[in-house]
Structure 1
Amino acid sequence: MSKVEFIKRNLIEKIQEHMETASTIYILTSFVMKSGVRLLKETLKKAAERGADIKICAGDYLFVTQPEALHELFSIHPDIEVRLWRSSGVSFHPKAYLFENTTSGYFIVGSSNLSKSALTEGIEWNIGLDKSVDENVFAKAMEEFLKLFYADATVQVNEETLKDYENQYHDYHQRHPNLARTWAEAEEIELMLPLEQTKVDANKFGHSVVRDPAIVTYETIQPRFAQVEALKQLEATYEEGYDKAMVVMATGLGKTYLAAFFARRFQKVLFIAHREEILRQAKKSFQRVIPDKTFGIYDGNVKEKEADIIFASIFTLSMKKHLEAFAKDSFDLIVIDEFHHAAARSYQRVLDYFQPKFLLGITATPDRNDNKDVYAICDGNVAYKIDFIEAVQRGWLAPFRYYGVYDDTDYSKIKWLGNRYDEAELLQVQLREEMADKILKAWEKYKKTRTLVFCSSIKQADFLSEYFQKRNHRTVSLHSKQTDIPRDQAIAMLENGELDAIFTVDLFNEGVDIPSVDTLLFVRPTESLTVFTQQVGRGLRLHEGKDYCVIIDLIGNYRNADVKLALFDTERGSSKKKKATLIPTVPENCSIHLDVRAINLLEEMRKKRQPRREKLLLDYQQLKQELGYRPTYLQLHLYGRSEAVEYKSEFKTYFRFLYWAGELSEREREVFLKYESWLVEVERTPMTKSYKMVVLQAMLQRGSSRWHLPITPQEVAPFFHRYLTEKEYRKRIDFSDKETKRLWIYDEEKVSKLIARMPMTKWSGSSNGLLSFDNNVFSLTFSIDPADEEILYKWTQEICEYRLHVYFERKASTKIE
């Protein structure tokens, strides 16, 4: 029966009642206390064991949440996801409990945090709402929870992130001892600080309502520019037997249209993204390419599941109820748009569930330095790649003129929070009139007609927009808290020449295009090279009357300032690039101009002590926090911000890096020093084919105590043949010349001769005496202490898996080079 309940006492009874039957359990709470976790522990454990989707988000505001409570919470069951909202001092006070199963749902919102007194005898007010009272409100609450849960401000709670939080927690309470004592004595005192009101100036633009335009019937369109090449390579990849691939196309080249062209060969298609505007724009693109199909949206508000092509929000689809509303084989093609790293686990859950004929990841980010999720789910198989520099060279994107303006802010004094600067400290230096005046003068000197300004915060966007307005420029600050002017109206005004500039905070990173923009102004430190690349792409779309795009960029001593210019280099990663230079080699019709003081600053930053090693360590530590444990070598390659090959180049082997970084235990350090030469050999032996590592993998199949024993080609042959023929792409890459093609049908004698003649003979001859091949026996020439076997086996396995993965990844991509 539909109902709304007012609950003053013993909320725990209502929560446990619904937990016992719910297939989805979402908890959002300002803070978590040990007493609250212990009340719910057994109920949560039983729910997780029966397969319920459980997500819990708590806040770190005023460091009330107890580290022990978080540890106990995520230790209940491995399938329970716990994330912590990093508030950076901004108040965080939501309290909500959401439950849903296949037939019903219940939503509690009110004053009760996750603590014993709040859930039992404390004075609390909560409202319980049955889903049937208003299904739209319930769906909206579920959707908004997931957006908050996976927001950039949250981190996954695991052993590594908990160490970081615990240090901050104790540091804070040492500085605020009375606060700590107060919370120890009475858990339910809320230190409510008012939310700082975001200033939204009333302006001349007034209010308006923006409605989606009526569906427009388009004529079908055909691939052009990079889409032609990419489609050809993608279809060849599919024909060669691959079941997943990735396409990297710079912003402005039409990666969504490419996905639509490729989708023409499939009957049922699922397109997944993390932002609603991306879903709706993708739907319009697909409608133009395949007008005879039916199209549906599947998100928090709309559930059109019977269409041929469905555009789904990951936040909705990852819910157990909605995921299981589809059969596992519902889709022939699944397209994954680039997505936030925080949501990777939800994407993986969706992809583990479905069984498509082909999985396509599309991204505009050429460098896998901030998130590699799309790359990882496609097993590193890149079917086609073109970055914005190559696209500019080929005339597919507009040329640019880059102006680097010196910023005298000392960012080294601003606290770094792992992936961003502390907002409060950053604002102290940004909200200064002398800084605003410098920005204004640089903009007035170099600008063209229509400008996007990328800011680091809402306050900075509002402050600078107001400063520009007072000096007779037509500007607007456009962000998530702006209410005076809708986004569509502001974009139209900029395009029509009624605005000079839009100041924004991340709204235009992806999913929104304004081709007429011819000036980009960066007034934020470059914290993410991926985001910077996406934002540069906003100004490079071709447009009638636009001969080039001006990029005005503040350069200070912030992180990545000394490496981001390399993104403009036409020779980056090229073998002909002899030596790294400060000023990149840009396309002929482009230019780079730097203030003299900016040049001096960048030169100084490049001379820092071991800057490369420090960056590798920082990126490693971030990945370790995300995973909650020391990453394997392959995980470092697939998910790390720095390329794994950089660790190899700097340290010869990943395990020497771990030794240098103090990441090995005392026992592991001993093993490393004893067998370093072997690890380096496995890491660095040349591979023109995969054969050496396949032989090693065959040896490793025998287990930790036997992997290093001598072996004959005949013993290796069955595994060797099976490995190279079980995947179509392996067979086509390494088993398809005149000789080996005849071996697609297993012949032990011929396969054994191939193994003896190539990997075993060649590797023994180039191994610096570490391997031998005599009398038809392949063996290690050094002994391994039984006490060291397990560790060395694990490390050898890691290197072998990494090298095989990278080998086939590289070979698969040679067709696009």
Structure 2
Amino acid sequence: METVNKLIVNSEKGNLLNELIKSLNDCESFYFSVAFVNFSGLQLLLDTFKDLEGKGIKGKILTSTYLNFTDPKALKRIKGFENIDLKVFITDKEIGFHTKVYIFENKDHYKVIIGSSNITQSALKSNVEWNVEIISKQEDLFLKDVLNEYNKLWECSNYVDASFLIQYESFIDELKKLETTKKLTFEHTKTINPNQMQHRAIENLERLRNHGEKKGLVIAATGTGKTYMSAFDVINYKPNRILFIVHREEILKKAKETFEKLMNGEKVVTGLFTGNKKEKDADYLFSTIQTISRYYKEFDVDYFDYIIIDEAHHAASPSYQKVLNHFTPRFTLGMTATPERSDGHSIFDYFDNNVALEVRLHEALEEELVIPFHYFGVTDIEGIDLSDVNIDDIAEITKRLKVNERTDFIIEKINFYGHDGGKRKCLAFCASIDHAKYMTEEFNKRGYNTFYLTGEDSIERRDFYIRKLEDDEDDLEIIFTVDIFNEGVDIPSVNTVLMLRPTNSPIIFIQQLGRGLRKHDGKTFLTVLDFIGNHSKTFLIAIALNGCRYYDKDSLKVSVATGFANIPGCTHIHLDKISQERILAQIDLENFNSMKYLKEEYFEFKKMNQGKTPYLLLDYLKYDGSPDPIKFIEKENTYLHFVAKVEKDKGLQNLLSDANFEGALKELSNKLPIKRIHEFVILKYLVDHDEISYEKARNEILKYVKKVDEDTVRHAFECLNHNYYDSQQKKGKLKLVVYSSGGSLYKSEEFASMVANDGFKAYIIDIINYGIIRYEKEFQEDYYGVPHFKLYEQYQMIDAALLSNYRKIHSAFRGSGLLSHEGEYFLFVDLHKEEGIKETIRYKDKFIDERYFQWQTPNSTSQNTDRGKNIIFNKDRGINLHLFVRKYKEIDGKSEPYIYIGKGNSVKFYGEKPITVILELENEVPSSIYTEFIQII
């Protein structure tokens, strides 16, 4: 075997952790030497080390005391493996220890990885690291040198025994105490700048204000810095007086401190307005809602320029409404982790449906606004059989989960995986109150200090036990609970989450996971243990972890099989083999487009909506992990038709019997999800106005996007006027506007009558607002030019006509793999052709790699035609080749969308009718998308 070298870096394409796990699973023995080992990195290798122990594969790990970075907890954990010998190189001031080498002995060769990475979660998964992998024979001089040096270091190092661990752990504890006192003196000199999320929010809020809007809403996960964002926006806006309203007094003081920290040097006076303090002359007043709702009449209506409402999901309550209806500030900002109101409705209307920013869990992880999590999906013990029980039968689920053997198994696993930091601070989610009581009693019998909290407990009781859990000096380490900590409760120091009940909702799963993701001093990751049974809805875990609302059967299977490689940063997801196989099998059997599945998904969401029928599309924006209502629309043409059918709702059916109303719903629903915001912004304005001019339309659109093309606005007017509908499209859809010869758009008589009727208007506005808010979420405020395509977004063929300002019948843009408009060529590719197509007409379209794509023209295209020359010499001829790819034409009977891969340029070509063209892509395809295209499960 020849020596082979490979560079390993942490990127979308892979990371050192994956390489180490693969190499460990293939080797006959292993030898590591690293400067330091942290528990954050070791935890990611525990399952692999356990498997090797079971197979009798032995190894040696050598680390050091260099810079005191090695974690005593990690050393203890390594010592627990019978197959691993552990030594520590004791460093002093003269001698450092920098080695980072991983050696794997195989039957006929060795693999050596040498580079920059120690064993920490960041070094293994996300840091900028360079490691070189070298494979060579035992007789190679290089390998002999490596093994000799390793053996020398091993011989002059110390075995880790109980005495060493006691001394080292004590030393590290003392060192941490010293470092804590040092940090306190440094905080005051630290400059704080907006993070990426805060910067985008401030920019969007400023644009809303510049175009006349007076309200805005920011939706971001707990712990992502919403209070800092509001302070940065205040600094940017420079109001004379602000009112900051919160629901709880302890949050109020923290908010005031945050503003004071960022306002350093600003000549403003801050003050509290609470039950005990009435500093009403302050420029920036921080008040509880309980106090301001009693004393708001003491202030003039225009006294405050800017009002900020924290936990804005409370804004609809009577106390908030009294205050908000009294004041007339220049701007009002709402901030919330979830737009769910306590009465089950959404709060978008209270902020004029102006969502300045929405950051959900996946984005928060990507932008490092929350800490990473290490998720371990563990197959439950054999004695727990949930295969024949309805997942909603809580009493029966509880009965089957109350097994002593299972309690012992859970304890075994929490001890095996461990946790970040010193004291375990754990929330454990149970199936019922009875289950929570049982778990508490059984854990306490086994020597653990635990407690249970439920909805029956008072807020004071809950707060008392939360404080005990957070107190490092208190013995309480686990709170068993039922639902009450799903959302809205902030316990920053939680370092472990146990999921002890079957997952029956991606929404609840994400809420429970989110309870431990807040950043906290000294906390580097969250440990999540999910005990996965054999119930029929296990695959919902995959939907929740996938991080994408828009999924199909194939994309889910690829995510599960690749360990959810699309999850960003140091987050790690590991499903054991049985759980993975069980989930893949369930996904295979499930039809995500069947009415049976859609009804189950709908009614599960209805339960989350406090049992109230979710009549509005906006209801689905309230929760991270909600189903995509577009699937319901595609099933029955409009969302209300779907609801009327599954609910057997006579009142809704009567409403839908109005032909104009039904036509308006179909006209709007057919455009969802919108790929260009212009039309819906125009319609939103026309709901409350009789006409809109071109200039007014342009100004309204600029509230949402950074730039507007003049021709695109005119094209939007023409599209709304049905200029490019064919005769079939015009049937059954209401014409909402009339395009006058003077250039303005007017409401049609039918549309005017619809929005004059409150019963119809609410549903029409809902579709429009849903379309706009979803567009903002997916496309943000960016300008994409003409054609208006965003990389890696989903499109249908007909979308290319709309988004390139095509001025003929748009439905003609279908049925061919190559469509064109002026200098824009659109290449639509199915990677896997339909069965039954003759080999002679199968196209050999495929990814060569992330940068090159092989495409074949239609069979009739030859090199000497104008079209052929435009393709093979596209760059010289000023032709843009836009590539759209989908893996399968349809899945489960539903047509699949194409993914926009971007523009490509012809760099090689051969053959006639068809021409085979090699395209160099202008943008390298991200690894997660590339893997999904090429992976066959």
* TM bin (shorter chain): 0.5 to 0.7
Q: Distance in 1 between matches of 2:354 and 2:475?
A: 46
Q: Distance in 1 between matches of 2:505 and 2:453?
A: 21
Distance 1:391 1:525, change over 3 A: same
Aligned to 2:499: 522
Structure number with larger C-alpha Rg: 2
426, 440, 453: which is aligned to 2:427?
A: 453
Aligned to 1:607: 590
Aligned to 1:804: 768
Aligned to 1:225: 195
Aligned to 1:354: 327
Aligned to 1:719: 691
CA contact (8 A) 2:680 2:772 kept: no
Paired residue type of 1:444: N
Unaligned runs of 5+ in 2: 1-185, 743-747, 783-937
CA displacement, residues 229-258 of structure 1 (integer Å, 9 cap, x when unaligned):
443444444444432222233333322222
CA contact (8 A) 2:388 2:535 kept: yes
Q: Distance in 1 between matches of 2:270 and 2:480?
A: 35
Q: Distance in 2 between matches of 1:248 and 1:727?
A: 26
Aligned: 1:270 with 2:243: yes
Aligned: 1:594 with 2:575: yes
Aligned: 1:382 with 2:367: no
Paired residue type of 1:259: S
Paired residue type of 1:308: D
Give the 5 Å matches for 1:57-456: 222-226=192-196, 227-264=198-235, 265-290=238-263, 293-298=268-273, 304-315=279-290, 317-318=292-293, 321-338=294-311, 344=317, 346-365=319-338, 373-406=346-379, 408=384, 410=386, 432-449=403-420, 450-456=424-430
Q: Distance in 2 between matches of 1:474 and 1:590?
A: 29
CA displacement, residues 422-456 of structure 1 (integer Å, 9 cap, x when unaligned):
7x877656655344333222212222243312345
Distance 1:652 1:564, change over 3 A: farther
Q: CA deviation at 1:573?
A: 3.8
Aligned to 1:536: 513
Distance 1:235 1:409, change over 3 A: farther
Paired residue type of 2:377: G
Distance 1:600 1:731, change over 3 A: closer
Q: TM-score, normalised by structure 2?
A: 0.48
Paired residue type of 1:490: K
Q: Distance in 1 between matches of 2:387 and 2:247?
A: 32
Distance 1:533 1:486, change over 3 A: same
Q: TM-score, normalised by structure 1?
A: 0.55
CA displacement, residues 632-683 of structure 1 (integer Å, 9 cap, x when unaligned):
6466567696554343233220232134121134972882699867742342
CA contact (8 A) 2:204 2:357 kept: yes
Paired residue type of 1:261: F
Q: Distance in 2 between matches of 1:286 and 1:340?
A: 22
Q: CA deviation at 1:325?
A: 4.1
CA displacement, residues 448-469 of structure 1 (integer Å, 9 cap, x when unaligned):
2433123457775565345334
Paired residue type of 1:453: L
Distance 1:328 1:484, change over 3 A: closer
Aligned to 2:720: 759
Q: Distance in 2 between matches of 1:429 and 1:616?
A: 27
Give the 5 Å matches for 1:17-32: none
CA contact (8 A) 2:721 2:738 kept: no
Paired residue type of 1:255: K
Distance 1:777 1:247, change over 3 A: closer
Give the 5 Å matches for 1:649-688: 649-661=634-646, 662-665=648-651, 668=654, 671=657, 679-685=665-671
Aligned to 1:73: none
Distance 1:342 1:504, change over 3 A: farther
Paired residue type of 1:616: Y
Q: CA deviation at 1:228?
A: 3.9
Aligned to 1:97: none
Q: Distance in 2 between matches of 1:411 and 1:349?
A: 52
CA RMSD of aligned residues (A): 5.3
% same residue: 26
Distance 1:274 1:395, change over 3 A: closer
| Larger RCO, structures 1/2 (Cα 8 Å, 6+ apart) | 1
Aligned: 1:768 with 2:729: yes
Paired residue type of 1:760: N
Q: CA deviation at 1:607?
A: 3.1
Aligned to 2:468: 490
Aligned to 1:147: none
Aligned to 1:467: 442
Paired residue type of 1:607: E
Q: Distance in 2 between matches of 1:693 and 1:341?
A: 28
Q: Distance in 2 between matches of 1:756 and 1:362?
A: 35
CA contact (8 A) 1:328 1:354 kept: yes
Q: Distance in 1 between matches of 2:202 and 2:687?
A: 39
Q: CA deviation at 1:733?
A: 5.3
Paired residue type of 1:446: Y
CA contact (8 A) 2:503 2:540 kept: no
Distance 1:806 1:256, change over 3 A: same
Q: CA deviation at 1:498?
A: 6.3
Give the 5 Å matches for 1:561-576: 562-573=539-550
Q: Distance in 1 between matches of 2:397 and 2:535?
A: 11
Q: Distance in 2 between matches of 1:775 and 1:357?
A: 35
Paired residue type of 2:425: T
Q: Distance in 2 between matches of 1:364 and 1:485?
A: 20
Distance 1:675 1:301, change over 3 A: closer
Q: Distance in 1 between matches of 2:698 and 2:325?
A: 19
Unaligned runs of 5+ in 1: 1-215, 702-715, 744-752, 779-783
Q: Distance in 1 between matches of 2:262 and 2:717?
A: 53
Q: Distance in 1 between matches of 2:607 and 2:478?
A: 39
Give the 5 Å matches for 1:767-786: 768-770=729-731
Q: CA deviation at 1:554?
A: 3.3
Paired residue type of 2:427: V
Distance 1:769 1:431, change over 3 A: closer
**Structure 1 residue matching 2:415: 3-state secondary structure:** helix
Paired residue type of 2:372: P
Q: CA deviation at 1:684?
A: 0.8
CA displacement, residues 677-714 of structure 1 (integer Å, 9 cap, x when unaligned):
7742342147666676688789988xxxxxxxxxxxxx
Q: Distance in 2 between matches of 1:567 and 1:290?
A: 40
**Structure 2 residue matching 1:251: 3-state secondary structure:** coil
Q: How many residues of Structure 1 are paired with residues of Structure 2 in the alignment?
A: 556
Bigger mean CA offset, 285-294 vs 327-336: 285-294
